[in-house]
Amino acid sequence: MKDKEVIKVIRPFSPSIARVKIPNELVDTLNDYTDKVVKDEEKLKNLDHGKTLEGSVTQELKLEKDFIVSSGFSKFLSDSVFTWIKLSESKEIKSFNLMSTWIVRQFENEYNPVHYHSGHVSGVGYLKVPKSFGENPQKKNNNYNGKIDLVHGTRQFLSESSFVITPEVGYFYFFPHYMMHTVYPFNGTKEERRSISFNAKIDDETFNVYG
């Protein structure tokens, strides 16, 4: 991994955020997997993780262990986190231990309320995005429809308290687990906003669930 080519460290406030390009073939693999699960009623029922998560969305699908490893997704996550911590904090972590990962299928008027995650590090990547998230009623320029808002602390001099991200297919954002965040609803389209998230521990073998 050539660090400067694939990862960008962003520091809008004290904790850093990382933006990483997802390989195109991995985006396709994750989308193909999700489409197959959605068509399989029995598997869909078993993998629907929505009742244990915060989102008010159509589906939140837990990824199967074998697929996480064979697809290369777990390696993508661990490599990205190792690089992010090294560039951001000048530290070498010893292990990345994935706790859980899931697909979020969000449609018109659905949303994710303000919440935080478990573990040490979390993140979200984008697999499908509508052509338009619709307009707000007053047609303002600062349209938050369909965007994710990361929140940390309070507004201070020369330091923002939130960082708004416009989803783009093929980009993954990493952040500390405790960082509050919310996803705004969108309108005017029947298209899907599809994302993938995870929780992980670093340097804690107790939670080495996926290897």
**Average pLDDT value for residue range 90-119:** 94
Residue 211 lies in a domain: no
Nearest-angstrom CA–CA distance, 39 and 60: 15
| Residue-wise pLDDT tens digits, 169-211 | 999 999 999 999 999 999 999 999 999 999 999 998 654 554 4
Tell me the three state secondary structure of residue 36: helix
Residue 1 lies in a domain: no
**Average pLDDT value for residue range 33-52:** 90
On average, the pLDDT of the chain sits at 90
Nearest-angstrom CA–CA distance, 149 and 131: 20
Whole-number pLDDT of residue 39: 95
| Residue-wise pLDDT tens digits, 122-131 | 999 999 999 9
Indicate whether 86 pLDDT > 60. Answer: yes
Residue 209 lies in a domain: no
Whole-number pLDDT of residue 81: 97
Two tokens, residue 191: 């298209």
**Torsion sign over Cα 158, 162, 164, 169:** positive
Residue 208 lies in a domain: no
Nearest-angstrom CA–CA distance, 127 and 183: 15
Residue 79 maps to which CATH number? 2.60.120.620
Which of 156 and 104 is assigned the larger pLDDT?
A: 104
Residue 178 lies in a domain: yes
Nearest alpha-carbon partner for 60 in 69, 51, 73: 51
- When divided into structural domains, the chain yields a total of 1
Whole-number pLDDT of residue 211: 45
Whole-number pLDDT of residue 6: 78
Residue 198 lies in a domain: yes
Residue 186 lies in a domain: yes
| Residue 132: domain span | 7-203
| Residue-wise pLDDT tens digits, 142-172 | 899 999 999 988 777 777 789 999 999 999 9
Residue 127 lies in a domain: yes
Which of 160 and 11 is assigned the larger pLDDT?
A: 11
